[in-house]
Amino acid sequence: MTAEYDSDTTQASTSTTDKPWGGRFSEPTDAFVERFTASVDFDKRLYFHDIQGSMAHATMLAEVGVLTDAEKEQIIAGLTEIREEIEAGAFAWSVKLEDVHMNIEARLTSKIGITGKKLHTGRSRNDQVATDIRLYLRDEIDVICAELSRLQTGLIALAEQEADTIMPGFTHLQTAQPVTFGHHLLAWNEMLERDFGRIQDCRKRVNIMPLGAAALAGTTYPIDRTITAKLLNFTCPSENSLDSVSDRDFAIEFSAAASLLMTHLSRFSEELILWTSAQFNFIDLPDRFCTGSSIMPQKKNPDVPELVRGKTGRVTGHLISLLTLMKAQPLAYNKDNQEDKEPLFDVIDTLKGCLKAYADMVPAIEPKRDSMREAAKRGFSTATDLADYLVVKGMPFRDAHEVVGKAVGYGVQTGKDLSDMTLQELQQFSDIIADDVFDVLTLEGSVNARDHIGGTAPAQVRQAAQRARTKLTART
């Protein structure tokens, strides 16, 4: 969201006394510049974490003797009232006060007087905003991971339910070998499990506290940063003041993890869109996740997967935006960094929305088992099983590959799948083929033969689902 401004008022001015930093300036800020540089329209969502950080900062200042206990209590009481005002919609945000931090500080001073001006002792907006963003992102990561776990829970349950449902597996979008629907769904879960791990790993680097770095060099006040870090549940204070205020790696890293997660959701979406089409007819999505056409009455469009697929580019674009934002910045803080929030906020909002949509939708997927099975019978999906059968009988694999290729060619000409051919038809390609060949040419025989960890045998799918569920349970 970009701050709005009126070009007809660009020559208007405001009093320098409105600015907490106005003492050095000899003329008021141009009104256009005032609105152009303000961030309160979008960073006000940080209010809760800004107040949380300020309360911890005030507590620390009192513990080291910079504030009295009475001043600390007055500040915390005032901040509590301000938080209640904001949550009640009774807080008047001002663009003239530039950002969330100065709006809250100005309101605090108006409520409790000169004591409110003491809150900013030993800190700068540079380390304050860096702390706010980390606190905010840390909480949002926890929400995102909870929603991701909810999606995985539904996915695993559906996979277990469909452990025996046979469908074609594809390479190059061509029929390759039979698999089970449950096995396919657990492939999605593996992607999401990696996503969960990446985001949790990112959280470790988010959870470092920059507060106390001040503008860039630290402060001369006798602060104790370990107190503040403990109060805010940070792992530890940051090590270098210059890096503390200018680092946005954590936002980039989170956006990179989010982009990869969205890429996975986009891949899922592509498959769901294909599977709901009349050409595949593998699944049905409930009406509540679809829309119709304004002109074609028969249409049922998979809008949720299509939108998720489309929103992937949005998140990836924000990652590129943040990388570009940081690529040429010298140490330490620069005004450029104000541009970190809108991309990051939109990544968070978009990812949460897409995860919620999928967590709601996936358990409601209705597989069309007969259509899947019929599709698996097409395309000679058990050809590799026939080749493996010949190898077990003693034929070198390359020779077996050629024999099966000829059998497939015959099937194309006659319109017969391998499993539909008679023993005599198959024996014209190799006389070592016997009656037991039909044990491996059936779809069930094919999937059951892959009975090892990572294989598509229904028994293995159920065991894999149980292992996946155990991992989920261990998170809580």
Q: Where are the domains of the chain?
A: 14-121, 136-209+243-373, 379-474
* 293 is an active site residue: yes
Which value, to the nearest 10 degrees, does the dihedral of the CA atoms of residues 340, 341, 343, 345 take? Answer: 150
Q: Rounded distance, CA 34 to CA 59, Å? A: 33
Annotated catalytic residue, options 7, 26, 172, 452? 172
Determine how many CB atoms are found less than 10 A away from the CB of residue 125: 20
Q: Name the class of domain 136-209+243-373.
A: mainly alpha
pLDDT of residue 30: 75
User: What residues are paired with 236 via a beta bridge?
Assistant: 208
Residue 180 CB contacts under 8 Å (≥ 6 apart), including other chains: 162, 163, 164, 165, 166, 167, 447, 456, 458, 461
Confidence (pLDDT) at 3: 37
What pLDDT is attached to residue 11? Answer: 33
Active site residue 172: yes
Cα(108)–Cα(86) distance, integer angstroms:
13
Cβ-count burial of 307 within 10 angstroms (0-12 exposed, 13-18 middle, 19+ buried)? middle
Instruction: Tell which CATH classification among 3.30.200.20, 3.40.50.620, 1.10.275.10, 2.40.50.140 matches the domain 14-121.
Output: 1.10.275.10
Place of tokens 């790993």: 201
CA-CA-CA-CA torsion sign (120, 123, 128, 134): negative
The whole-number pLDDT of residue 4 equals 33
**What integer best gives the mean pLDDT of the chain?**
92
- Would the CATH topology of 14-121 be identical to that of 379-474? no
State residue 24's pLDDT score: 65
pLDDT of residue 22: 59
Q: Mapping DSSP to helix (H, G, I), strand (E, B) and coil, where does residue 178 land? A: strand
pLDDT beyond 60 at 12: no
User: Residue 19: its pLDDT value, please?
Assistant: 64
What is the per-residue pLDDT for 466? 98
| pLDDT tens per residue across span 389-424 | 999 999 999 999 999 999 999 999 999 989 889 999
Task: For residue 55, give both structure tokens.
Answer: 């309360």
Q: What is the pTM of this model?
A: 0.90
**pLDDT of res. 424:** 94
The per-residue pLDDT for 34 is 74
R_g over Cα of the chain: 31
HSE of 439, CA atoms in CB hemisphere, 13 A: 8
> What does the pLDDT average to over 286-303?
84
Distances (CA, A) of 319 to 8, 137, 250, 271: 35, 15, 12, 25
Would the CA dihedral through 254, 132, 357, 182 be positive or negative? positive
Q: Up-side HSE of residue 63: CA atoms within 13 Å toward CB?
A: 13
- According to the model, what pLDDT value does residue 322 have? 98
Which CATH number does the domain 379-474 belong to among 1.10.40.30, 1.20.1250.20, 1.25.40.10, 1.10.10.10? 1.10.40.30
pLDDT of residue 14: 44
Q: Which of 293, 318, 371, 452 is catalytic?
A: 293
CA distance 266 to 148: 15
Q: What is the pLDDT of residue 25?
A: 64
Q: Which of 3-7, 301-305, 317-321 has the lowest mean pLDDT?
A: 3-7
The answer, yes or no, to whether residue 99 has pLDDT greater than 80, is yes
